[in-house]
Amino acid sequence: MPKTMKNLSVLLALLLAASVQAEYEPPRTAGGKPDFTGVWQVLNTANHNLEAHSGRASQMMREGPVVPVPAKELVALGAVGALPPSLGVVQGDVIPYKESALAQREKNRENWMTDDPEVRCYLPGIPRATYLPHPFRIVHNRDALLFSYSYAGAVRNVALQNPGPAPIDSWMGLSWARWEGDTLVIETTGMNDRTWFDRAGNYHSDKLKVTERFTRTSDHTIDYSATMEDPEVFTRPWTINMPLYRRVGADANMLQFNCVEYVEELMYGHLRKEPLD
């Protein structure tokens, strides 16, 4: 096939694919809005690090005799404890930290095993709850919008009208939903400053505002984005983007990952009358 004809065929195929996607008609609630009900999960490594990164032997490294080696606490994990590479999910590639905030990010990264809230099974906050390596369920109808997460039994009851400022800060914040056409927009504020964005130490203050956008692109996919605004930590708003995938068949269910009991030894083992080695 001549090169010109081949290029034309590729262009036509792309246009056809775009047309099919544009014509997708999502299931709708009784109120006429797209229905997001289902069990969803990401297929990426954003929870390790939102930014692009190469693979390495461990999430946390130490100086070795020639090259860096895994931290001593992680050596026995071998390949299981390795950090997989990723192209990243941050638009523009780099999180726009203020110069004064970068030092804290690096400190978090160096102390991941002791300081990451996920290690101690604290609630994940928004948006991290979305891209943890666990499924979550959305229950959606005309009168309610509920997110239920496998991780730590976290839940998010999203208000359908602006409830005003959060009365107190919390791990999961206060969320309310609005619509931009067929795109579901959820704004979350009132989060405390104790959650991280990922295992790489990316963090925020209690002034964080997260604006999420959910757009159904097929029966089994959602285009998801979240824009972070925090003038105390970042120089400007920044956005992450990723697809969410619907679980089907026997996997269209959600088992609870009640990790609180899994970290009892980590957090309270030293209080035993005879602590274990």
Per the prediction, the chain carries an average pLDDT of: 93
Residue pointed to by tokens 């928004």: 126
Backbone CA torsion sign across 177, 243, 169, 205: negative
Instruction: Return the percentage of the chain with pLDDT > 90, whole number.
Output: 87
Residue 89 CB: number of other CB atoms within 10 A? Answer: 23
Q: How far apart are CA 125 and CA 162, in angstroms?
A: 19
pLDDT at 35: 96
At 53-102, the pLDDT tens digits run: 999 999 989 999 999 999 998 999 999 999 999 999 999 999 999 999 99
Token output for 163:
């409830």
Report the pLDDT value the prediction gives residue 163, as an integer from 0 to 100: 94
Q: Which band of pLDDT confidence, cut at 50, 70 and 90, is reported for residue 23?
A: confident
Structure tokens at 35: 């229905």
The full set of domains in the chain, from first to last, is 26-52+90-271 (2.40.128.20), 53-86 (no CATH)
